[in-house]
Amino acid sequence: MHYDAVIVGSGPAGSMTARFAAEAGAKVLILERRAEVGVPVLCGEGVSQKVDSFKVLEGKRWIATKMKGARIFSPNGTTVTLAAEYAGDETGYVVYRDIFDQELARGALKKGAEIMLNTRAVDLLKKNGKIKGVTAQHFDETLEIEADVVVGADGVESRVGRWAGIKTTLKPYDLETCVQYTMTNIDWDSPYCDFFLGKHVAPGGYIWVFPKGRDVANVGIGVLASLSEAGKAKQYLDKFIAAQPALKKGESLRIITGADPVAEPIQSVTDNLILVGDAARQVDPITGGGLMHSIEAGRYAGETIGNAVEKQRFDTQTLSEYETRWKNAFGKKLHRNYVVKEIMLDMEDKTLDMLADSLKDYKFEEFSTLSIIKALVTKHPSLLVKLTPLMKLARA
Partner 1 sequence: MAKHKAFVKKEKCLACGGCISVCPQDAILMISSKAIVDNELCNSCSICVKTCPIGAIIWEGT
Ligand X SMILES: Cc1cc2nc3c(=O)[nH]c(=O)nc-3n(C[C@H](O)[C@H](O)[C@H](O)COP(=O)(O)OP(=O)(O)OC[C@H]3O[C@@H](n4cnc5c(N)ncnc54)[C@H](O)[C@@H]3O)c2cc1C
- Distance (Å) of CA 33 to CA 40, 189, 232: 12, 37, 29
Q: Of ligand X, partner 1, none, which one does residue 219 interact with (CB within 5 to 8 Å by kind)?
A: none
Q: How far is the CB of 150 from ligand X (least distance, A)?
A: 11
Residue 288 contact, options partner 1, ligand X, none, Cβ 5-8 Å cut-off depending on partner type: ligand X
Q: At closest approach, how far in Å is the CB of 233 from partner 1?
A: 4
Given the DSSP bridges, would you call strands 69-73 and 63-66 parallel, antiparallel or unpaired?
Answer: unpaired
For the CB of residue 178, give the shortest distance to partner 1 in the complex, in Å: 6
Q: Does 289 bind ligand X (CB under 6 A)?
A: yes
C-alpha of 48 from chain center:
12
- Please tell me the number of Cα atoms within 13 Å of 307 on its side-chain side: 12
**Which secondary structure element, helix H or strand E, spans residue 338, and what is its range?**
helix 332-346
Cis peptide before 40 (omega within 30 of 0): yes
* Binding at 103: pick from ligand X, partner 1, none (beta carbon under 5-8 Å per type): none
**Residue of 23, 148, 154, 194 interacting with ligand X (CB under 6 A):** 154
Residues 131 and 238: their CA atoms lie apart, in Å, by 47
**Which of partner 1, ligand X, none lies near 12, with the C-beta cut-off 5 to 8 A by kind?**
ligand X
| Binding of partner 1 by 218 (CB under 8 A) | no
* Contact positions with partner 1 (CB under 8 A) in 61-120: 120
Coil, helix or strand at residue 211 = strand
Please choose, from the candidates 124, 52, 140, 137, the residue with its C-alpha nearest in 3D space to the C-alpha of residue 95: 52
Q: Which range, of 152-160, 190-198, 298-306, 333-341, touches partner 1 by CB under 8 A?
A: 152-160
Contact of 223 with 204, CB cutoff 8 Å: yes
Q: Does 152 bind ligand X (CB under 6 A)?
A: no
32 binds, among partner 1, ligand X, none (CB under 5 to 8 A by kind): ligand X
Pick the closer one to partner 1 by CB: 196 or 314. Answer: 196
CB of 384 to ligand X, least distance (A): 33
Confirm or reject binding of residue 229 to partner 1 (CB under 8 A).
Answer: yes
Residue 361's contacts (CB-CB under 8 Å, 6 or more residues apart) are none
The residue among 290, 6, 261 whose CA lies nearest residue 132 is 6
Cα–Cα distance measured from residue 189 to residue 371, given in angstroms and rounded to the nearest whole number? 33
Residues 103 to 122 in contact with ligand X, rule: CB under 6 A: 120-121
**Cβ-contact 148, 314 below 8 angstroms:** yes
Q: What are phi and psi of 62, to 5 degrees?
A: -80, -10
Residue in 40, 77, 165, 389 binding partner 1, rule: CB under 8 A: 40
In sequence order, what are the residues at sequence separation of 6 or more whose Cβ sits closer than 8 angstroms to the Cβ of residue 147? 2, 3, 4, 5, 6, 29, 132, 133, 134
Instruction: Give CA–CA dist 203/235, Å, rounded.
Output: 12
Considering only 232, 325, 336, 374, the residue that binds partner 1 (CB under 8 A) is 232
95 binds, among partner 1, ligand X, none (CB under 5 to 8 A by kind): none
Pairing of strands 192-196, 69-73: parallel
Is residue 70 close enough to count as binding ligand X by CB under 6 A? no
133 binds ligand X (CB under 6 A): no
Q: Is residue 152 close enough to count as binding partner 1 by CB under 8 A?
A: no
DSSP states along 82-109: EEGGGS-TT-EEEE-HHHHHHHHHHHHH
Nearest-approach distance from CB 135 to ligand X, in angstroms: 11
Q: Are 207 and 196 in contact (CB under 8 A)?
A: yes
Residue 277 near ligand X by CB under 6 A: yes
Span 77-96, contacts to ligand X by CB under 6 A: 89-90
Is residue 156 within the footprint of partner 1 (CB under 8 A)? yes
Residue 212 engages ligand X in binding (rule: CB under 6 A): no
Residue ranges that bind partner 1, judged by CB under 8 A? 33-34, 40, 42, 120, 155-158, 162, 168-172, 175, 177-179, 223, 225, 228-234, 255-259, 261
Residue ranges that bind ligand X, judged by CB under 6 A? 8-14, 31-34, 42-47, 89-90, 120-121, 153-155, 157, 159, 178, 180, 220, 258-260, 277-279, 283, 288-291, 294
